[in-house]
């Protein structure tokens, strides 16, 4: 069966079919991500003081990934323009660059960013125990300055068995700098560069802890929405990369040889999807990394 209107426009819509198809799909995607973003707003507005963490993500890495996605948006539109000018060689290189950008983005996310979170520990303290851990929290000074109180101690967990073994009574944590040097005003704002946990060990009685987990979706509404939204976004990046690989392989060169405009339209449509994925990230980046 021949699919009609792949390059010529359909008289009633004024568009070739795939163009209207992709826009209807993107409209449904707007609702999908819209639902998740509105859940984010709702959870954040509802978070009790100190319950919405700040500065836990790596800003330079997030910035780099943002730049990589923007670059890939440029290369995919250049790939399309190259096809329009019937320069297949240039198209091939731009497409390769786009695919590589997508792969780098995913690799950074899955090999570096997420595992680093899975390896990080946080313990929310019971309200009555906050005074006992004042040296790690610095809340007296924070109150004077009108800052939100700290209720969580974070760092690298030295005895991970403590999470499961009820006979272990305390968590031994190599403290993050915010907790190791709680009264230093330099730690009031999130650091730009990633700061690894210090050598200073803090001991936290399990009795004083309300909730203690690694940085997983169960840790907080913040990480639940972070992993859900970046996970779904990552799946979209993966899907885009797979489609681009297909269009870059020799299979598509055969299409180009007998109908170049058809390939150009395919690239335009998948490019529209890719720009949409980029557009989502433009909002994800400040919402989770910076604010």
- Over the window 6 to 35, marking each residue x when it contacts another protein by CB under 8 A and - when it does not, the resulting string is -------xxx---xx--xx--x--xx--xx
Q: Taking the alpha carbons of 29, 35, 38, 43 in that order, is the dihedral positive or negative?
A: negative
Residue choice 112, 194, 246, 283 for contact with another protein (CB under 8 A)? 283
User: Closest CB to another protein among 99 and 269?
Assistant: 269
Residue 123 CA, chain-centre distance (Å), reads: 23
Is position 41 an interface residue for another protein (rule: CB under 8 A)?
yes
At closest approach, how far in Å is the CB of 91 from another protein? 12
Is position 113 an interface residue for another protein (rule: CB under 8 A)?
no
Is position 97 an interface residue for another protein (rule: CB under 8 A)?
no
3-state secondary structure of 119: coil
Beta bridge partners of 153: 123
The kind and range of the H/E element at 64 are helix 59-84
Tokens of 93: 């290189």
Tokens 């180009």 locate to 256
Interface positions, 221-280, toward another protein (CB under 8 A): 261, 271-272, 275-276, 278-279
At closest approach, how far in Å is the CB of 20 from another protein? 7
Distance separating alpha carbons of residues 179 and 139, to the nearest angstrom: 11
Residue choice 133, 227, 285, 288 for contact with another protein (CB under 8 A)? 285
Q: Which residues bind another protein (CB under 8 A)?
A: 13-15, 19-20, 23-24, 27, 30-31, 34-35, 38, 41-42, 45, 59, 63, 66-67, 70-71, 73-74, 77-78, 81, 84-86, 189, 192, 261, 271-272, 275-276, 278-279, 282-283, 285-287, 290-291
């Amino acid at each position: 069966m021949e699919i009609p209107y792949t390059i010529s426009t359909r008289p009633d819509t004024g568009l070739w079919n795939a163009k209207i198809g992709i826009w209807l799909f993107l409209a449904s995607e707007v609702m999908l991500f819209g639902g998740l973003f509105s859940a984010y707003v709702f959870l954040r507005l509802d978070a009790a003081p100190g319950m919405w963490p700040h500065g836990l993500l790596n800003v330079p890495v997030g910035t780099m990934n943002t730049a990589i996605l923007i670059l890939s948006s440029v290369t995919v539109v250049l790939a399309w323009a190259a096809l329009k000018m019937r320069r297949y060689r240039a198209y091939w290189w731009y497409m390769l660059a786009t695919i590589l950008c997508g792969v780098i983005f995913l690799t950074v996310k899955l090999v570096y960013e997420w595992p680093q979170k899975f390896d990080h520990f946080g313990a929310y303290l019971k309200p009555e125990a906050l005074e006992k851990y004042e040296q790690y929290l610095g809340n007296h000074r924070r109150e004077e300055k009108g800052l939100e109180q700290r209720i969580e101690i974070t760092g690298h967990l030295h005895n991970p068995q403590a999470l499961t073994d009820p006979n272990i009574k305390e968590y031994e944590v190599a403290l993050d700098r915010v907790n190791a040097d709680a009264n230093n005003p330099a730690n009031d704002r999130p650091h730009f560069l990633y700061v690894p946990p210090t050598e200073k060990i803090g001991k936290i009685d399990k009795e004083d802890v309300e909730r203690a987990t690694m940085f997983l979706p169960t840790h907080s509404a913040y990480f639940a929405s972070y992993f859900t939204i970046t996970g779904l976004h990552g799946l979209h990046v993966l899907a885009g990369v797979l489609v681009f690989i297909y269009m870059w392989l020799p299979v598509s060169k055969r299409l180009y040889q007998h109908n170049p405009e058809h390939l150009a339209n395919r690239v335009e449509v998948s490019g529209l999807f890719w720009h949409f994925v980029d557009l989502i990230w433009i909002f994800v980046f400040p919402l989770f990394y910076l604010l």
